[in-house]
Structure 1
Amino acid sequence: MLASRLVAWLALSGALAYSKGEREDRMNFLRTIMWVILAVVVAIFATANWHDVMLDLWGDLRMAIKLPVLLGITFAIGFLPTLFYYRAKVWRLRRQLALADRNAKMAPQTPPPPPVAAPKAKDPESPF
């Protein structure tokens, strides 16, 4: 009941009437809007929190850094190793898949073996 109403609503709203290319264009538009919203939020946060933060490094050495810059550096320290690991794993899996595809294409196509005939029944008179 609910599914049929949902399909009817989607058909009436025109969501099902778009071709695949038009849907991808709409998704690219939504993706762009989300990135713009995220950039605006980050810019507002950065301007609202543009304060100096003092870091005690070692000994009497202190460093003044802006809070949004510090947050960006800590985000990069956490995100970049994970990103590099993910990209290396995807690269390795693609290489393995390409190697397997290449080997499958180069492997000789042997016909299946002929069926094995069933063994004949032995004579009941034979001791063997």
Structure 2
Amino acid sequence: MRIVTLTFYFLFGALLAWFAARNWDFVTLKLWGDYELAIRLPVLLLLMFLIGALPLAILRYTSRWHWSRRVKKLERALEDKAPAPSSEPSPVMDPAPPPLAPPL
């Protein structure tokens, strides 16, 4: 299954490289006032993708941080309620049976 995934990633990367090579033209962005920015199209697309992915990445990491804190809090509460281990064996448990003698 790993070879299928690697093949897919390789083909996707080759497709992106082909797209970038075919569209390596300058794009002029008109900013506020008389300011203009000339940037290559693939670079602009990459920047826009990263800016669009940023809010979801922040949401993912904050959610992960929240849940890890909650799990640690519940684990601490569980440890506090657990009975202290005693050194004596429990009377409820049966002792282990004696080993069998080897056949003669």
TM-score (norm 1): 0.58
**1:54 and 2:33 matched:** no
**1:36 and 2:30 matched:** no
Provide closer, same or farther for how the CA distance between residues 36 and 101 of structure 1 changes in structure 2, counting only shifts above 3 A. same
**Bigger-Rg structure (1/2):** 1
Aligned match of 1:77 in 45, 51, 67? 51
**1:92 and 2:55 matched:** no
Q: Give the letter for the 1:76 counterpart.
A: L
Gaps of 5+ in 2: 84-104
Query: How many residues in Structure 1 have an aligned counterpart in Structure 2?
Result: 83
Equivalent residue, structure 2, for 1:104: 78
Equivalent residue, structure 2, for 1:66: 40
Equivalent residue, structure 1, for 2:91: none
Provide closer, same or farther for how the CA distance between residues 98 and 29 of structure 1 changes in structure 2, counting only shifts above 3 A. farther
- What root-mean-square deviation, in Å, do the aligned CA atoms of Structure 1 and Structure 2 show? 1.6
Show CA shifts across 1:9-46 (max 9, x none): xxxxxxxxxxxxxxxxxx33333222222211111111
Kindly indicate whether structure 1 or structure 2 has the higher relative contact order, using CA contacts under 8 Å at least 6 residues apart. Answer: 2
Q: CA deviation at 1:89?
A: 0.3
Q: Give the letter for the 2:17 counterpart.
A: A
> In the aligned structure 2, how far is the partner of 1:29 from the partner of 1:102?
43
**Structure 1: which 4+ aligned runs deviate by more than 6 Å?**
none
Equivalent residue, structure 2, for 1:11: none
Gaps of 5+ in 1: 1-26, 110-128
Q: CA deviation at 1:80?
A: 1.4
Percent identity reads 33
